[in-house]
Amino acid sequence: MITEKSVILQAGNKYIIHMKTYLKRTASAIVMAICSITAFCSCDNAGNDSGKARYIFVFIGDGMGAGHAAVTESYLSYQAGKLGGEELCFTQFPVLGTCTTYSADHHITCSSASGTAIACGEKTLNGYLGVNPDGERLKSIAYDLKEEGYNIGIMSSVPVNHATPASFYGHNTDREDYYNISMEIPESGFDLFGGSGFLQYSGKDGDKTPTPEVLESKGYNVCFGAEEFRQEMDSSEHIVFIQPSGKAENAGNYEVEKPDEEDSRLAEMLQMGIDFLGDDEPFFIMCEGGEIDWAAHDNMTMPMIDAVLRFNEAVETAYHFYLEHPSETLIIVTADHETGGITLGSNGTSTIYWDELVKAYEGGAVPATREEKRNLNDKVCIGWTTDNHTGAPVPLYAIGKGAEKFAGRMDNTDIKGKILN
Ligand SMILES: [Zn+2]
């Protein structure tokens, strides 16, 4: 459960980080200018003949449309005593595109069909994962890049076998066949996995060998928490990070409902992943902020904002890496679909009543029923049109090597080809 204090603390931190970003960005502009000059002099040292970025980050804010970013930035501005103008890290990226997200059988996609579209470059049916509408296996970009010598990391703030991360390694006509999806982790040969835990930890009926045991038997070191991960990463070839709270069947809980002090934030998880993979060899990291979608399904405005801020922190981590390797790094931030149909403003008004919204979540209070949530959102003038996904196109933000290919309109199935070519 999120408290006002934690939200304010977080926003305070974000503001400091934001100021740092601003300073970094100034440095970055200079670095980029130097890079353009060196590139012009044919001194591109990317170390990759294909012209592809050596370090690739794909961030997926599950359910995060333009509205979620706008509401979060309005909240940050409110915290800073302004009407607007505060910015997230990724909304400042120089390249902006927009992606359509429909699936092979619906106007409105689910996370496995859109995850598959992003990862594999093909549309499939809602509920399908890493397979085409005929159930035939598709090849995700992670497999393509693995073959090209990239190290692969797949990370999420929600379970490792949930739809979005699973789209990059799994193949199943049922996205909820979680146990069997987990069994594909060692088959993938990917180097790093991270998430809150495993759904169907011991199988659908709880009678199978616990997932970590299976993974350990196949050469994947499963570490519960940052301390264990840091201790064991140097001696591990393949590693799986699981939150301390993910030791059992409760991995389905999401942070805003059940925070665990011991759990690492997504940014920390990503930093561990970057440290594990290192920069000696090229890498591809997919990093998902999964609880943005869950909070948006619930139309819970403050938890949604908290989830976007956590996701933004993770992007900051990658951005810091980019500043150290500007000519070799590509960062893409997008969403698999929009959730909730959120708008900054509703009911014909021109004001958001942030004081009231923040107060409503004070002391860990959360609106419990659908009606309470609707009344609160109505009162403060945050619009939500549905408790499901919508077909609104999602923004794509990009920076770094090859980022310019992502400008303008595209479909989610175009992303894979743009990264690879
Ligand atoms: Zn969803």
3-state per-residue secondary structure call for 238-302: EEEEECHHHCCHHHHCCCCCCCCCCCCCHHHHHHHHHHHHCCCCCEEEEEEECHHHHHHHCCCHH
> What is the Å distance from ligand 1's center to 18 Cα?
29
Burial class (CB in 10 A: 0-12, 13-18, 19+), 133: middle
How many CA atoms lie within 13 Å of 348's alpha carbon, on the beta-carbon side? 0
> What is the Å distance from ligand 1's center to 203 Cα?
23
From the list 383, 373, 372, the residue with the least C-alpha distance to 348 is 383
Instruction: Return phi, psi of residue 154, to 5°.
Output: -125, 115
pLDDT at residue 25, rounded to an integer: 45
> What is the Å distance from ligand 1's center to 186 Cα?
26
Q: How many helices (H) and strands (E) does the chain have?
A: 15, 14
CA dist 138 → 142, 169, 220 (Å)? 11, 10, 24
> What is the Å distance from ligand 1's center to 210 Cα?
26
What average pLDDT does the segment 361-375 reach?
85
Q: Which CATH superfamily is domain 4-39+57-377+384-420 in?
A: Alkaline Phosphatase, subunit A (3.40.720.10)
> What is the Å distance from ligand 1's center to 308 Cα?
15
CA dist 190 → 185, 239, 247, 286 (Å)? 7, 9, 22, 12
* Contact criterion met (CB below 8 Å) for 142 and 190: yes
> What is the Å distance from ligand 1's center to 65 Cα?
12
> What is the Å distance from ligand 1's center to 279 Cα?
34
CA 204/CA 207 separation, integer angstroms = 8
Q: How far apart are the first and last CA of the chain?
A: 44
CA 230/CA 86 separation, integer angstroms = 35
Q: How many beta carbons lie within 10 A of that of residue 2, not counting itself?
A: 22
CA 117/CA 413 separation, integer angstroms = 5
- % residues pLDDT > 70 (the chain): 85
Instruction: Give rounded-to-5 percent helix, strand, coil for the chain.
Output: 45, 15, 40
From the list 302, 299, 305, 304, the residue with the least C-alpha distance to 370 is 299
Find the helix packing angle between 370-380 and 301-324, rounded to 10°.
70
> What is the Å distance from ligand 1's center to 386 Cα?
11
> What is the Å distance from ligand 1's center to 27 Cα?
38
pLDDT band at 240 (very low <50, low <70, confident <90, very high): very high
What average pLDDT does the segment 128-144 reach?
98
* Contact criterion met (CB below 8 Å) for 279 and 153: no
* Contact criterion met (CB below 8 Å) for 373 and 298: yes
> What is the Å distance from ligand 1's center to 43 Cα?
45
One-character DSSP codes across 143-193 = HHHHHTT-EEEEEESS-TTSHHHHHTT--BS-TT-HHHHHTHHHHH--SEE
> What is the Å distance from ligand 1's center to 162 Cα?
11
> What is the Å distance from ligand 1's center to 293 Cα?
5
> What is the Å distance from ligand 1's center to 235 Cα?
37
For 205, the enclosing helix (H) or strand (E) is none
User: Domain segments of the chain: what residues?
Assistant: 4-39+57-377+384-420
Assess whether pLDDT exceeds 80 at residue 210: yes
Mean of all residue pLDDT scores within the chain = 88
Residue-wise pLDDT tens digits, 38-69? 333 333 344 445 689 999 999 999 999 999 99
The tokens for 416 are 């894979």
Assess whether pLDDT exceeds 80 at residue 19: no
**Rg of the chain, C-alpha, whole Å:** 20
- % residues pLDDT > 90 (the chain): 80
> What is the Å distance from ligand 1's center to 290 Cα?
9
The pTM for the full model equals 0.88
CA dist 363 → 8, 9, 127, 354, 358 (Å)? 12, 14, 38, 16, 10
pLDDT at residue 368, rounded to an integer: 81
